[in-house]
């Protein structure tokens, strides 16, 4: 289970007050995942994802990922787009933790991959590399081998 931080209607009201989004009608924790808490938020006409960053994620690294997702999305790569709040920031505090809202991307888990799926993934990764060549972002890989 990956819903570590529980939220209530109180937090939903807070989210609605901080973002220029339609009123959230319902929310549900997303059980898949291993690292962060995610919720599916639903308004009358839209779905969004709320991510609450848990312990392993360094707060100083989160802006890198928000900017990267924004750049990829603006370049036509189908990925979540982070939403800015009313103050123009991607990030808010929720229950003492850093959180963000991103657009919902339709799709399903792929249980079994075939060679065409691998080719499609390779093409997307190639596009990502081409797009990010011109993006002025840098972050040291915290999961890499120490030199």
141 — pLDDT class (breaks 50, 70, 90): confident
Residue 13 belongs to a domain: yes
CATH number of domain containing 102? 3.30.200.20
Please give the tally of structural domains in the chain.
1
Tens of pLDDT, residue by residue over 43-97, are: 999 999 999 999 877 888 899 999 999 999 999 999 999 999 999 999 999 999 9
The residue segments making up the domain with residue 19 are 9-132
Q: Is 139 contained in some domain?
A: no
How many of the other CB atoms lie within 10 Å of CB of 82? 23
Strands 92-94, 37-42: parallel, antiparallel or unpaired by DSSP?
unpaired
With beta carbons less than 8 A apart as the criterion, state whether 73 and 67 touch. no
Q: What is the pLDDT of residues 56-65, one digit of tens each?
A: 778 888 999 9
**Tokens representing residue 74 in the block:** 């603006």
Domain-embedded: residue 142? no
pLDDT classification of 35: cutoffs 50, 70, 90: confident
């Amino acid at each position: 289970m990956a819903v570590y931080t529980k939220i209530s209607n109180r937090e939903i009201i807070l989210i609605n007050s901080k973002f220029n989004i339609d009123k959230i009608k319902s929310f549900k924790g997303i059980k898949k995942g291993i690292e962060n808490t995610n919720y599916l938020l639903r308004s009358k006409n839209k779905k969004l994802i709320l991510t609450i960053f848990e312990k392993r994620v360094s707060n100083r690294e989160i802006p890198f990922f928000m900017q990267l997702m924004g750049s990829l999305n603006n370049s036509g790569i189908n990925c979540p787009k982070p939403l800015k709040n009313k103050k123009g920031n991607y990030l808010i505090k929720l229950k003492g933790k850093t959180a963000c809202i991103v657009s919902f991307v339709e799709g399903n888990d792929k249980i079994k991959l075939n060679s065409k799926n691998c080719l499609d993934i390779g093409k997307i990764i190639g596009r990502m590399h081409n797009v990010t060549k011109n993006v002025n972002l840098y972050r040291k890989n915290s999961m890499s081998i120490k030199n």
